Amino acid sequence: MNNPLQAWHELVRAREAGALDRLLADDVVFHSPVVHTPQRGKAITTLYLTGALHVLNNASFRYEREVVGERDAVLEFTTEIDGIQINGVDLIRWDDQGRITDFKVMLRPLKAVNLVHQKMGEMLQRLK
């Protein structure tokens, strides 16, 4: 597999959730900014990330900054939904095969967290 970070950026640019199957490890763990427990496994992580691609990845979405290590990265992003500015961070870790093993999303400010919680809830109901 090519560079997992490059693959992630291509997936986000193309808004192509189908590419998640190749990019995520089977035992990937997803940490949501609004769900208290880690979500384990490819199926649930795919569901959450697909929802996020629909909710957060609009025309205003952009990555502002990256801090990249050997097997992990911190990607700061901004977007706007319903007039509310959202600032967030994706923390991504991958294995030797280039598959994402851990994906954590953090958001601010509180207004944004509440809005994303509502919009993601609606999107996840449609995706299920």
Give the Cα separation of 30 and 42 in Å (integer): 9
CATH topology of domain 4-127: Nuclear Transport Factor 2; Chain: A, (3.10.450)
Give the Cα separation of 73 and 50 in Å (integer): 20
Q: For the whole model, what pTM was predicted?
A: 0.92
What is the band of 128 on the pLDDT scale with cuts at 50, 70, 90?
Answer: low
In 3D, which of 60, 50, 41, 66 has the Cα closest to residue 11?
50
Q: Do the Cβ atoms of 19 and 7 come closer than 8 Å?
A: yes
36-92 pLDDT per residue, tens: 899 999 999 999 999 999 999 999 999 999 999 999 999 999 999 999 999 999 999
Q: Do the Cβ atoms of 1 and 97 come closer than 8 Å?
A: yes
Decide if pLDDT at 1 tops 60.
no
Give the Cα separation of 29 and 41 in Å (integer): 6
Decide if pLDDT at 28 tops 80.
yes
Give the Cα separation of 71 and 54 in Å (integer): 27
User: What residue ranges do the domains of the chain occupy?
Assistant: 4-127
Q: Do the Cβ atoms of 53 and 124 come closer than 8 Å?
A: no
89-120 pLDDT per residue, tens: 999 999 999 999 999 999 999 999 998 989 88
